[in-house]
A and B are shown apart, each in its own frame.
Chain A
Amino acid sequence: MLSIENLRATVAGKDILNGLSLQVKAGEVHAIMGPNGSGKSTLGHVLAGRPGYEVTAGSVAFNGVDLLAMETEERAREGLFLAFQYPVEIPGVSNMEFLKAAVDAVRAQRGEPPVDSVAFLKQARAVCEQVSLDQSFLRRGVNEGFSGGEKKRNELMQMLLLEPRLAILDETDSGLDIDALQVVADGVNHLRDPERAIVLVTHYQRLLNHIEPDFVHVLAGGRIVKSGDKSLALELEAKGYGWLEEEVA
């Protein structure tokens, strides 16, 4: 589904990704771990097409298509979803309006008509409940005045409604209490599907107690320096990242 070859990228003139390669197949869950500043978040934004994130070398194929040649919104419409680490507020634009605009944009790409408002409201209410948000959040402005945990759940709600083909979660677990973490994990597990791939960017092993990854990768210095199965995450938890950096150097 996702094939990253030797990807290099700069942000504000600074090299962040330095020849990163990664293969993700449909149905798989990958966890990407690594120390601060290793390029974890940058990877998500480069894939999503954030303005200002410049790719200088390498290629990314998404379902066989050149992802890097697509506009940001096209990538989203093709089913790439990024759950933000720090979702911004859009005051005055109701969550419901925002969700519907997003879902309709994706549907338009597939040649489908806009979703029926009544049916969609029903669906949105159900998802709201699934992520333990009060129904009133549908009427409130996008992330407007939400707490950190509420913002993360709101990201999750968008993901569940958009049903992406590739979901990238950028440290969605950070700053969450144990109940909220469980909600996020349940949401992600709910989305696990043979047709869908999930990439979890995380600092901590604890999320992986709830979501069992197929692969764990360690990112350091803008490259993947070690890959393994879930046992690698436990090893990192016990030993930290220092030994890997030494090993690489």
Chain B
Amino acid sequence: MAQESLDHLIRTEYAAGFTTDIESDTLPPGLDEEVVAFISSKKNEPDWLRAWRLEAYRGWRQMTEPAWAQVGYPQIDFDAVSYYSSPKAMADRPQSLDEVDPELLATYEKLGIPLHEQEALAGVAVDAVFDSVSVATTFRHKLAEAGVIFCPISEAVQTHPELVRKYLGSVVPPRDNFYAALNSAVFSDGSFVYIPKGVRCPMELSTYFRINEAKTGQFERTLIIADEGSYVSYLEGCTAPMRDENQLHAAVVELVALDNAQIKYSTVQNWYPGDAEGRGGIYNFVTKRGVAHTNAHISWTQVETGSAVTWKYPSVILRGDNSIGEFYSVALTNNFQQADTGTKMIHIGNNTRSTIISKGISAGRSSNAYRGLVRMSPRSSGSRNYTQCDSLLIGDRCAAHTFPYIESRNPSAVVEHEATTSKVSDDQLYLCQQRGIDTEKAVSMIVNGFCKEVFKELPMEFAVEAGKLLEVSLEGSVG
């Protein structure tokens, strides 16, 4: 991008004012230091953050895309991606649901999504839909009374710079990995949460992340800090599929659980997986990690049914003594979807405990891999891990892989790993059919039964939605 036009853009946007400008402005594709600086200026960020982004960018330039995951996709041209976009102009969007892909609407219908939410999800020109720029969240008043801060991270940079500066990148350093470095350089927006000492957050915090603009990379950045003795449950995502073409998504989520704090982070991810032939779909390369201090407790629960390619390992660093890390996961792939997902449990403190329950379901021609690391560091004594890793195959053209890595450097550590692979058998389906239950209902019952241990970790209403979601995602998977 020419320096001149960029400067021009920066100046004019500045003049227009960032917060009031709702019309779409999307940067031309490509990434260099000027683009990073542009994003930072656009958000009116302090110098330290601009420097932080640039440092991440320089790190990213020296890194190469990881190739070890059990996934295959065409080479991503990072110079063909646009790295900034604020909401699209109302005029460019579908004006009503009549203009939206009927197949998408049919899916919304099956999931029982209310009409106004359908509009929002399909990107119809209604006020509440944005991408890249976070929506002002409701209930803020009630949260403020409890002293809870829940706001877009771009806002937190302005209003609570000391907290952001202290913790941003403290769990996932800017040069942690290729995608995290990219995210650190160009992150658009995301959520910021701070729970003060001893406070139990009065409600479950939830955010819908939405990608609406075609060919726009989405780089969410979420930072959650639970101060000493506090508790928070955070819900991310939604069950409805997102309309889209191939899109790069590289989010970073950092959790900090200080002494005696607890963070429960639940995700339901159902981004567009591509069509039945494997065309289109979102590439989802996510870095999620939490640090648990003394007696702290972090649990990740995820239900992953979307995206063409998923690369995601929500992890816990068990830094403090007696800290607890948990990972409960359901990953379902159908058609040509590929998922390489799992977790890392890094035991550093004494008497730390971690539990991993992973349920992978493969249907169609999809590939589903569990990849997990359990590390018991030399100074961590009396620590334990239990891992259970189950795969369920539907049909005979799909694949399931398990890659458990166990590094135990302390003789007092106890690490248990159990893995199973099973198939939805013709005999099971026959038994169901002979009792009058049709095949689709039977498969959905069997899959839901398989996932039960994970679903019970989800908040109630999320669990019901998740069950329904699996049913819809598996439609037509048994012929």
- B101 interface residue per 8 A CB criterion: no
State the CA gap A48–B437 with chains docked (Å). Answer: 13
The minimal Cβ–Cβ distance linking A139 to chain B, given in whole angstroms, is: 12
B435 and A162 within 8 A (CB): yes
- A109→B430 contact, CB < 8 A: no
Q: Is A82 interfacial (CB 8 A cutoff)? A: yes
For residue B452, which residues in chain A have a CB less than 8 angstroms away from its CB?
A: 92
Would you give the shortest CB distance from A156 to chain B, in whole angstroms? 13
A235 to chain B, nearest CB (A): 33
Whether B428 pairs with A48 at a CB distance below 8 angstroms is no
The answer to whether A92 and B438 touch (CB under 8 A), given A51-B426, A72-B433, A76-B433, is: no
Q: Is the CB of A97 within 8 A of B431?
A: no
- Report the bound CA distance from A91 to B433 in whole Å: 17
Q: Which residues A126-144 have CB closer than 8 A to chain B?
A: 141-142
- Chain B: minimal CB distance from A64 (Å): 20
Contact assessment for B435 and A76 in the assembled complex, using a CB-CB cutoff below 8 Å: yes
A50 to B451, CA, bound (A): 28
B137 interface residue per 8 A CB criterion: no
Within 8 A of B (CB), among A220-243: none
Contact B427 A77 (CB under 8 A): no
Whether A105 pairs with B446 at a CB distance below 8 angstroms is: no
- A84 contacts B449, CB within 8 Å? no
- Cβ of B436 within 8 Å of any chain A Cβ, yes or no, is yes
For chain B, residues 427 to 448, give those with C-beta under 8 angstroms from any C-beta of chain A.
427-428, 430-439, 441, 445-446, 448
A142: which B residues are within 8 A, CB to CB? 431
Size of chain B's interface in residues, with CB distance under 8 A? 23
Query: Smallest CB-CB separation from B439: which chain A residue?
Result: A73
Query: How distant is B427 from chain A, measured CB to nearest CB, in Å?
Result: 4
Q: B445 and A93: CB pair below 8 A?
A: yes
Distance between B389 CB and nearest chain A CB, rounded to angstroms: 15
Say yes or no: is B450 at the interface (Cβ < 8 Å to chain A). yes
Smallest CB separation, A59 vs chain B (Å): 21
* Nearest residue, chain A, Cβ from B359: A92
Decide: A73 and B437 in contact? CB cutoff 8 A. Answer: yes
Q: Is the CB of A102 within 8 A of B435?
A: yes
Within 8 Å CB of B431, what residues of A?
Answer: 84, 87-88, 90, 142
In the bound complex, residues from chain B placing their C-beta under 8 Å from that of A48 are: 434
User: Is A106 on the interface with B (CB-CB < 8 A)?
Assistant: yes
Q: Does A98 contact B (CB under 8 A)?
A: yes
- Shortest distance in angstroms between B51's beta carbon and chain A's nearest beta carbon? 52
- Let me know if A42 is at the binding interface, CB within 8 A: no
CB closest residue in chain B, given A76: B436
Task: State whether A105 touches B436 (Cβ < 8 A).
Answer: yes
Report the minimal beta-carbon distance from A173 to chain B, rounded to whole angstroms. Answer: 19
Q: Does A65 sit at the interface, judged by CB under 8 A?
A: no
Assess whether A11 is interfacial by the CB under 8 Å rule: no
Interface set, chain A 75-116, CB cutoff 8 A to B: 76-77, 81-82, 84, 87-94, 97-98, 101-102, 105-106, 109
- Report which of B425, B433, B437, B449 forms a contact with A141, defined as CB distance below 8 A: B449
Of A76, A82, A90, A142, the most chain B CB neighbours within 10 A belong to: A90
Known: A73-B437, A73-B438, A98-B435. A90 touches B446 (CB 8 A): yes
CA distance A109 to B435 in the complex (A): 12
Verify if A158 is at the interface (C-beta below 8 Å from B).
yes
Closest A residue to B452 using CB positions: A92
Q: Is the CB of B436 within 8 A of A77?
A: yes
Whole-angstrom distance from the CB of A92 to the nearest CB of chain B?
A: 3
Chain A residues with Cβ below 8 Å from B430 are: 50-51, 72
Q: Which residues of A, 17-67, contact B by the 8 Å Cβ criterion?
A: 48-52
Q: How far is the CA of A141 from the CA of B422 in the complex (A)?
A: 15
With A73-B433, A73-B438, A92-B450 in contact, do A97 and B428 touch (Cβ < 8 Å)?
no
For residue A105, which residues in chain B have a CB less than 8 angstroms away from its CB? 435-438, 441
Q: Which residues from 263 to 302 on chain B have a C-beta closer than 8 Å to any C-beta of chain A?
A: none
Cβ-defined partner of B437 (8 Å) among A87, A89, A91, A102? A102
Complex Cα–Cα for A26 and B246 (A): 62
On chain A, the residues within 8 Å of B432 by CB distance are 90, 98, 101-102
B residues in contact with A84, CB < 8 Å: 431, 434
In the complex formed, the residue of B with least CB distance to A142 is B431
Q: Least Cβ distance of B464 to chain A in Å?
A: 14
- Out of B426, B439, B449, name the residue touching A91 (CB < 8 Å): B449
Q: How far is the CB of A85 from chain B (nearest CB, A)?
A: 12
Q: Taking CB as reference atom, which chain B residue is nearest A80?
A: B434
Q: Do A92 and B437 touch across chains, with their CB atoms under 8 A apart? A: no
For residue B145, give the distance in angstroms from its CB to the closest CB of chain A.
Answer: 40
Whether B450 and A73, one on each chain, are in contact in the complex, defined by CB atoms closer than 8 angstroms, is no
7 interchain pairs, CB-CB under 8 A = A71-B433, A90-B428, A90-B446, A93-B446, A97-B449, A98-B437, A101-B445
Counting from the closest, the 7 A-B pairs by CB-CB distance are A92-B449, A105-B436, A102-B435, A93-B449, A76-B436, A72-B433, A88-B427
Q: Which residues of A are interface residues toward B (Cβ below 8 A)? A: 48-52, 71-73, 76-77, 81-82, 84, 87-94, 97-98, 101-102, 105-106, 109, 141-142, 158, 162
